[in-house]
Amino acid sequence: MPYFNLLPNADMQAIQALLQEKAHWLAQGKKGVERFRQPYESVQHIRAEQCDFSGDVVKIGGPDQLSGQDREKVYKALRDFMPWRKGPFEVFGVGIDAEWRSERKWKRVLPELPDLQGKIVADIGCNNGYYMFRMAHHEPKLAIGFEPYLQHYFTFKTLNGFAGYKNLCCELLGVEHIGLFKKSFDVVFLMGILYHRSAPVEVLREIRTAMKPGGVLIVESQGIPGKEPWAFFPEQRYAKVPGTYFVPTAACLSNWLSRAGFAAVKIFFSHPMSSKEQRRTEWMVFESYEDFIDKADPSLTVEGYPAPVRIFARAENPL
């Protein structure tokens, strides 16, 4: 890969073997792959004349740039990538109101955002790349998205195919592969991932090995209210979401980071979730936050557990 020379400490042999294995799997043309590869390939010839990643809406291309036929192809491809979880986007004039109001999360991160100019950045669980496009405005040397899900991977490839930002890339990798990138990243974003891992402290330790000394980690996690350093462990699902393990309080998240070896740990924001931030839209037509919460008592999930808060933390890899 063209960015390998920027990561001299990474295990490039293992990474390359893994990426080749992924490429071979993609090349087999299975139905689950083609569902998302086809819309990507249908618009590969289209390039945006201008982009604007400075505001809440990630804007790629202008509404008057395309012919009628290409405009129809773009609209169809974007609809084929539904449901859209992160956003908002405007792509050649097509407005995409995603399930999450992701610009709100980014605004909470901005006051604690380290200088990204010329830096090597990882976005673990990057989804469709909304936050990577917002990062691009700050001119990193390279931002690598780790995204194991085909839908999100091909959505990002389509969007950045339009945008043409060569310092942004996405690989079909998960957080479990971060340890292959030894001492590689100046900044790591881990947003909306940690509570989906059964061993959160081990994940944080692995991430720390992938960070340069003095590197900064930005964490955003689902959590529960409370001042004690506790984590909640649901029996099966939490707010209807399977694969949810330890859901921490802010104090617990802070302790996880410290126990993983991070320094200068700071919880810089916490807020209760609401349907103003996560909701059903015409680009995400399935169940959303209001369906996950007890309608008679919004302080509880439908399972009777404490309703979620979102917790933001900043930590540093010691020098």
Q: What's the rounded Cα separation, in Å, for the pair 36 and 83?
A: 12
Tell me: the pLDDT tens digits for 137-164? 999 999 999 999 999 999 999 999 999 9
What is the 3 state secondary structure string of 97-133? CCCECHHHHHHHHHHHCCCCCCCEEEEECCCCCHHHH
Q: State the average pLDDT over residues 157-178.
A: 98
Q: What is residue 228's predicted lDDT score, i.e. its pLDDT?
A: 98
Q: What is residue 1's predicted lDDT score, i.e. its pLDDT?
A: 64
Q: State the average pLDDT over residues 257-272.
A: 98
Q: What is residue 4's predicted lDDT score, i.e. its pLDDT?
A: 84
Q: How many CA atoms lie within 13 A of 138 on its CB side?
A: 18
- 30-39, 204-213, 256-265, 284-293: the lowest-pLDDT one: 30-39
Q: State the average pLDDT over residues 289-303.
A: 97
CB 313 within 8 A of CB 306: no
Could you give the percent of the chain with pLDDT greater than 70?
100
The answer on pLDDT for 3 being more than 90 is no
Q: What's the rounded Cα separation, in Å, for the pair 190 and 200?
A: 12
Q: What is residue 294's predicted lDDT score, i.e. its pLDDT?
A: 98
Q: How confident is the model at residue 30 (pLDDT cuts 50, 70, 90)?
A: confident
